[in-house]
Structure 1
Amino acid sequence: MSVHENKKLVRNFWEQVFNHGNMAPIDQLIGPDYTYNGQPGTASGTKAWAEALRKQLPDMHFTIEDLIGEEDKVAIRWTLVGTDSTSGQRVTSSATNIITLRHGRAISNWQNGGTSFQPVSSQAA
């Protein structure tokens, strides 16, 4: 697949799964040999994680800050904002993922950041 097609797949995945709660792209994008930060991963595990995140932050919205592709890799830098369902507090997080694709399927995802939430300042809200 072309770099443009790979970038389109990754953008669609983020928009559909995280911003719209449509889990179907997970089965379409996650390949059978997928790894996350070097550890084996599965579509079902990714789906369970995404559903748990949506339950924790029901109004979450991911903004794609950068989307860069080269050969079989796509780098995405994103910012997340949402309301924590337990505390009612607006929170944010950001990270960068580098996804390697083969034949339209993700085979690897390396994520840096995005594992904790910070309160959204009143100026940023």
Structure 2
Amino acid sequence: MTTKDNKSLVRHLVEEGFNKSNLAAIDELLADNFIDHKPLPGLPPLPPSPAGFKQLATMFRTAFPDLLYTIEDMVADGDKVVIRYSACGTNTGELVGMPLQVNKLPSLGLICSALPMTGSSNGGIAMIISVYCNN
């Protein structure tokens, strides 16, 4: 795949998988051997697999039904894509047993992800490594 194709794949994951909660798109876009290297502080451990990634997306959509991710920057080099994005949503429910913290969350934070495409069995995203920053 070209660098342009890789960037398009990552953009599609954010738009469909995160913003529209399209779990079928997550299945389509992640490699069968996908590994998620981003433990979230305060949340129970999830399998570092496509199934765990879908659980995470569902948990956040349940707690923040209007959650919207915006890609602020995207840089690609070969089979690696790094994105910086912000997220905003209204916290209307608990997040895996943690009670409602705030009603409105104007900025969920910034995340930088590296997504190498090589080594994937179906041409999808093989790995995500994220860094979370709160405002």
Q: TM-score, normalised by structure 2?
A: 0.77
Matched, 1:42 2:58: no
Deviations 1:79-124 (A, max 9, x none): 001111134222421111111113631111110115xx55xxxxxx
| Equivalent position to 1:54, from 48, 61, 75 | 61
Equivalent-residue separation in structure 2 for 1:106 and 1:44 (angstroms):
14
CA contact (8 A) 2:3 2:79 kept: yes
Equivalent-residue separation in structure 2 for 1:56 and 1:36 (angstroms):
21
Gaps in structure 1 of 5+ consecutive residues: 119-125
Equivalent-residue separation in structure 1 for 2:52 and 2:36 (angstroms):
11
Q: TM-score, normalised by structure 1?
A: 0.83
| Equivalent position to 1:72, from 76, 79, 89 | 79
Q: What RMSD over aligned residues (CA atoms) do the two structures have, in Å?
A: 1.9
C-alpha displacement at 1:14, in angstroms? 0.2
Gaps in structure 2 of 5+ consecutive residues: 40-46, 93-99
The match for 1:113 is: 132
Q: Which structure shows the bigger proportion of residues in strand conformation? A: 1
| Equivalent position to 1:99, from 93, 110, 115 | 115
The runs of at least 4 aligned residues of structure 1 exceeding 3 Å deviation read: none
Q: Give the fraction of aligned pairs with identical amino acids, expressed as a percent.
A: 28
Equivalent-residue separation in structure 1 for 2:49 and 2:113 (angstroms):
17
Deviations 1:44-95 (A, max 9, x none): 1111110100011111111100111111101111000111113422242111
CA contact (8 A) 1:60 1:83 kept: yes
